[in-house]
Amino acid sequence: MAQFICQTCGLQYAENPSAPARCKICADERQYVGWAGQKWTTHEELAQDHSVRLEMDGDLLGIGITPGFAIPQRALFLPTDAGNILWECTSLVTPAAVAELKARGGVDMIVISHPHFYSSMVEWSEAFGGVPVIIHAADREWVSRPSPNLKFWEGDTLELSPSVTLFRCPGHFPGSTVLHWKNGPNGKDLLLAGDALHVVQDRQHVTFMYSVPNYIPSHPECVTEVRQRLDGVGFEDLYGYTWGLNILGNARQAVDTSFDRYFRAVGR
Ligand SMILES: [Zn+2]
Ligand SMILES: [Zn+2]
């Protein structure tokens, strides 16, 4: 029995004697099957030739995998007044990474933006004693390894503490979530956007994509909803889904400009 991990998207599946016929995330039109066909690994195999990459990304400690694996996702460690949050997740947990994060006070909860970053979320939760993994109920169908540690939230906003709030920002997935952190490191207000607001290559704009790799834009009604939901939410920096893909400084203004640019492009 093994818990197979998809090599293209990094999603770990529940224990099974053989690998699934296909990965449901990669078979979905928002993702793609690797060009060499569906490939699987396991957590044990992955740990043999990969390690956890822990290094600063902007003002935050990033947690990834080296050499690069899957999308490649990068999680962030957030020491907040709601507790220490692991924002997003990756496929590989190692004793060295757990020790490093425990030295910083440990992880109290895991919060994930959307199914592309579910990865080995249950493995990470169990490594920290079964901490809750907070994900939006609208994306429940994409869970591949059920666990009592998964906590589904509903609605459009969820306040985790006076300074940490989750906002549902649909378009990529119905439950796509961003995390707003007031008064973070160096006193800055931050928006952790996953790819609900997708930072583009100039790192001065975002765009709104139903599928990033297959270039399918989000529906204008979803983008209108995101614009309304984030109206009046201030932030100086915005962190995207992977290493370095961030807008550091004037990020709120960059997002406003990007909403205008998107609506011009789709003729609204
Ligand atoms: Zn996959
Ligand atoms: Zn995604």
Average pLDDT, consecutive stretches of 10 residues, N- to C-terminus, the chain (268 residues): 96 96 97 96 97 98 97 97 98 98 98 98 98 98 98 98 98 98 97 98 98 97 98 98 98 98 94
How many other CB atoms are found less than 10 A from the CB of residue 181? 27
Query: 25: domain range?
Result: 4-265
Surrounding residues of ion ligand 2, Cβ less than 5 A = 116, 195
Please name which of 120, 118, 119 lies closest in space to residue 134, comparing C-alpha atoms.
118
CA dihedral 244→250→256→257, nearest 10 degrees, is: -80
Terminal C-alpha separation, the chain: 52
18: Cβ–Cβ under 8 A, 6 or more apart, which residues?
none
**pLDDT score at 268:** 85
Q: At 142, which CATH number? A: 3.60.15.10
User: For residue 1, what pLDDT is reported?
Assistant: 86
Report residue 120 CA to chain centroid gap: 12
C-alpha 113 to ligand 2 mean position (Å): 9
> Ligand 2 centre from 241 Cα, in Å?
8
pTM of the model: 0.97
Q: Helix 251-265 vs helix 220-229: angle between axes, to the nearest 10 degrees? A: 160
- Count of structural domains, the chain: 1
For residue 9, how far is its CA from the centre of ligand 1 (angstroms)? 4
From the CA of 196, which ligand is nearest? Answer: 2
